[in-house]
Chain A
Amino acid sequence: MRLVEQLRMAFLSLFRRGQASARLDDEIRYHVERQIDENIAAGMSPEAARAAALRQFGNPALLRDQARSTWTGAWFDSLNRDCRYITRALIHAPGFTMIAVFIIALGIGANVALFTLVHRVLLDPLPYPEPEQLVSIYEHESGGNTHAYMPIDAGSFSEWQRASQGVADMAMVSPFQGYSVSAEGGKLPEKIEAAMCSWNFFSLLGVNPVLGRTFGPADDTPSADASVILSGPFWQRRYAGDPSVVGKRIWLDAKPYTVIGVLPASFVYSGAFGGNTVQVWTPIAHEFPPSLMTTFEDHEAIGIARLRPGTSLAALVSHLQAVQKQIKAGHPGPAVHDSVIGRSLLDDAVQDYKTPLYALLAATGCVLLIASMNVASLLVARIASRRKELAIRVALGGGWLRIMRERMLESLLLSAAGGALGLALAWTAIQWLVKTRHDMNRVEAIHIGAVEIAFVILAVILTALFAGLISAFSSKLKDVLGGLQDSSRTLSSSRARAGLRRTLLVLEVSLTVVLLVGAGLLLKSYQRLRSTDLGVPVDNVLTLHFGLPEARYKTPVQRVAFFENVLSQVRTLAGVQSAGLVSAAPGQGYGGDDLVTVVEHPPLPKGTGLDLQIRGADPGYFAAIHLPLIRGRIFTSDERLDRANVVVISQKAAEMCFPGEDPIGKHIKINVDGTVGEVIGVVGDTRWNITQPIMGQMYWPLFSERWVNVALIVRSPANVSAFAMPIQKIIGGLDPDLPVSGVGTLRESIAKATIDSHFDSLLILAFAVIALVLAAAGLYGVLTYLVTQRTSEIGIRIALGARREQLLRTILFDGIRPALLGLLGGLAGSAAAVRLIRSMLYQTEPLDPLVFASVAALLLAVATLACILPAWRASRLDPIQALRTE
């Protein structure tokens, strides 16, 4: 009962404070009135009675305060009063308040945005049951300098699966496949990304379909009826979420497939080799030709394993390693890999983002640190200007703790407002990022949740503590009391305070330099990347892709006829300069490779081979793309179908296969199928990806049976994008059921390949610029403050005949000194820090002297600029005025 009563009172005094106060006043008034009545009854006149009653009662305000102090949350009253007081003070200094809040908002906003990315992308577990048991298994060439994690072959996978029974369950997925979906029911044909997987892929991940079923063992055989599972987004987009699609037929590459299930919209498989944009899933053993399911030489898939309890990744890998050693022993071919490597499924998805995201998080951390230092510096300056007021308060008995609490509250209020604004900024930034970076793995998982809100609160508290403590401790008790006897000539305390601000500035400048160096290196790397020569002129080239389904274009003759039709019609379009067909255009992907041998050379030692990228091209392609012919000749139109036994190689391939000899007239053999071709020409090199090293390439005639998927490239003097529609109409006119995909210019595909570099360098540059502006503002602020403090001293100096140039130099140097110290510290810090971003740099050394020198020059220039105005103003002081202000 008593507890209920106490709670009720606590509630009333906390939340009905206004009402309770009014009641207290009523109570006091009643008491006084009764006293007056009594005094009148005792024979006093009304006036005298009132005066006596009031005298007897004492100070009603004091009584009111004492009564209130017994209420629950009395501290709340004084806190509330302090808050009101501080808010009023802050509103009276709108410039200071807005700048401080904005600075904190920038710092906290950038941090929250990056923290959200790191948390959601790198740290959050994958959305599957027991995700820690899931690992990706790759092959690896020990001693090779190629990519560490290489796709696996289906032959090895079957052996592994058998050998790992009881230790782990294994599935296989080939996430980089594609189909053409036929036009049906008024829908356009389209090309979609697809994955082929072993039947147990979904059950192993623990994913249940929202409709129908997932694959069973019977679906995953060459003889089974073709079946397909739709991704949630594809089902919504193309079939409008129609549940009756399950059991129906759709046509992929002109062959019928039965839809057996639909996956949840939330399901995404993200791996290092893609998969997050897959629209349909098909069983791998049904889709792969039987030879591909048993080979050890063709690496088309990725292994996924769910570790049984008690098994570690290392144990599984060493188990599989033994199996792979045996495979290599039995099949010593150069294309057979000799070792196995694995990592957790999460690492597989996000490995590429780790360094950039952590680097960006470190950058935003610096920005927040700089921001808090700046706010601390502003607060210190603010206190300095209120020294007299504080001194009077302390002298009148104002508690020192109370004044400290006020400092902390002030900084907390500023930080909280900054945090709220920062959260809004972060939210906007994340919306923008999610919209622009579809290519990023796990981008679908990014959102601001409870953890992020907690992070904001933590950041606000830390910022408030940092800035508040610095400002609270900047004025010591005895200094403040000294303020009372202060005349403007006693400068010791203000000097000490400026000293603190200078130390902060040195740190600020150091961090800024580190950020600037990082941004400079990334920018240079990005410039390098953008200026990398693809091997052909990239402007005014349009590319688009289509593939002829073998189910409808059964013979090579039919396909060649179609290719020639397209080419001849496109070439007659007005404004088209040239057009060509190639299996993979420069900068647009790997396009496949094969191991070759030179027929005229003695056999290579076992286990080694010449690896060339393979391309198919029509005779007009080389001229159309402007790929220079270095030696020999290009195919003739006549060298096609069974006369397609000629090959053109790139310069790099010529160096690899024919070092020091003339390749023309020699023969190259593709190991896998034994195709032999006479080398008839050498052309220039092209890059398959702008960020990757050049590989040797060989071009076979496109007009042969090997090629079904092609890129059409069109060159025009101007406005090449305008041909996209007419060309699609031409292809649609020849075959209305043939989807065209990947329409875009060569320059756009380069931009796509460099988006990571672009993105990272731009963001870090933005942070560095923010830091630079803050540091410059800090320099300006401190020097202005110092000059104001020293007005009379400077006045005296001028009056005594100090030369103005001399004064300007002294003050300028005074201001720049912290910048110089910070610059030195920052350069040293950068030298250590840049090693961490080495992997993000392209053809740029971490200790690039040009970048370091430019940063130093830029910083000095900005620092001088920030200091020159206050210094100049000081040197122009009118001594009479300066001395009079005292």
Chain B
Amino acid sequence: MGKPSDLVQGTLDLLILKTLLLEPLHGWAIAKRIQQLSGEVLQVQQGSLYPALHRLEQQGWIKAKWAESETGRQAKFYALTAAGRSQLEKETANWNRLSAAINLVVGEA
């Protein structure tokens, strides 16, 4: 396994929203989940994760709640809002269109 790739520009929001679709998670868990789901390929840097989370929260896509975490400490859990859900659909569709287009160009070569 090579060095974890940097995230494709602009996809972090999509990944965060997607990760939160199942259940509310805190920042550390979100980073871990993305890492696991991508088969250790995608490594989310803390330096981008938290600004992204705060931006999404300011925009109203996600909302945060402090709750006890699995280790028994207080952690900030982010959950998808209704608006975030429809945003996720939009971004997913967008991503599919984009990646299909890229595949068309790259895949046939």
Contacts and interface: CB of A to CB of B under 8 A. Distances in A.
A63 B76 contact: no
A153 B61 CA distance: 83
30 contacts: A1-B83, A2-B60, A3-B60, A5-B63, A5-B81, A6-B60, A9-B58, A10-B58, A27-B26, A27-B27, A28-B50, A30-B26, A30-B69, A30-B73, A30-B74, A31-B50, A34-B28, A34-B71, A58-B45, A62-B47, A63-B46, A63-B50, A66-B47, A67-B53, A69-B51, A70-B54, A70-B55, A70-B58, A71-B54, A72-B58
Contacts of B41: none
B54 A67 contact: yes
Contacts of A23: 66, 76
A9 B50 contact: no
B82 A27 contact: no
Contact of B83 (A5, A26, A66): A5
Contacts of A10: 58
Contacts of A27: 26-27, 50, 75-76
Interface in B6-55: 26-28, 45-47, 50-51, 53-55
Contacts of B45: 58
A58 B47 contact: yes
Interface string A49-66: 000000011110011001
A57 B49 CA distance: 11
A2 B57 contact: no
Most buried by B among A5, A10, A28, A56: A5
A10 B59 CA distance: 9
* Chain A contact residues, majority secondary structure: helix
B84 to A, nearest CB: 9
A37 interface: yes
A13 interface: yes
Interface in A496-551: none
Contacts of A13: 58
Most buried by A among B54, B57, B81: B54
Interface string A247-287: 00000000000000000000000000000000000000000
Contacts of A1: 81-83
Interface of A: 1-3, 5-6, 9-10, 13, 23-24, 26-28, 30-31, 33-35, 37, 56-59, 62-63, 66-72
A26 B28 contact: no
Given A66-B50, A67-B50, A67-B51, A30 B75 contact: yes
A682 to B, nearest CB: 97
B80 to A, nearest CB: 12
Nearest to A4: B60
B46 A58 contact: yes
B74 A70 contact: no
A849 to B, nearest CB: 73
B51 A66 contact: yes
Interface in B73-105: 73-76, 81-83
4 shortest interchain CB distances as A-B pairs: A2-B83, A5-B60, A70-B55, A2-B60
Nearest to A57: B46
A27 B64 CA distance: 11
B34 to A, nearest CB: 14
Contacts of A57: 46
Nearest to B86: A2
Contact of A9 (B46, B47, B57): B57
Nearest to B73: A30
B67 to A, nearest CB: 12
A63 B81 CA distance: 25
A63 B54 contact: no
B47 A63 contact: yes
A383 B55 CA distance: 39
A26 B74 contact: yes
Contacts of A30: 26-28, 69, 73-76
Given A31-B27, A31-B50, A58-B46, 18 more contacts: A3-B60, A5-B63, A9-B58, A10-B58, A24-B54, A27-B76, A28-B50, A30-B28, A34-B71, A37-B71, A58-B45, A62-B47, A63-B46, A66-B50, A67-B54, A69-B51, A70-B55, A71-B58
Contact of A35 (B26, B28, B61, B71): B28
A10 B55 CA distance: 11
A9 B51 CA distance: 15
B40 to A, nearest CB: 14
Contacts of B55: 70
Most buried by A among B26, B57, B66, B82: B57
A66 B51 CA distance: 6
Contacts of B61: 2
A23 B74 CA distance: 11
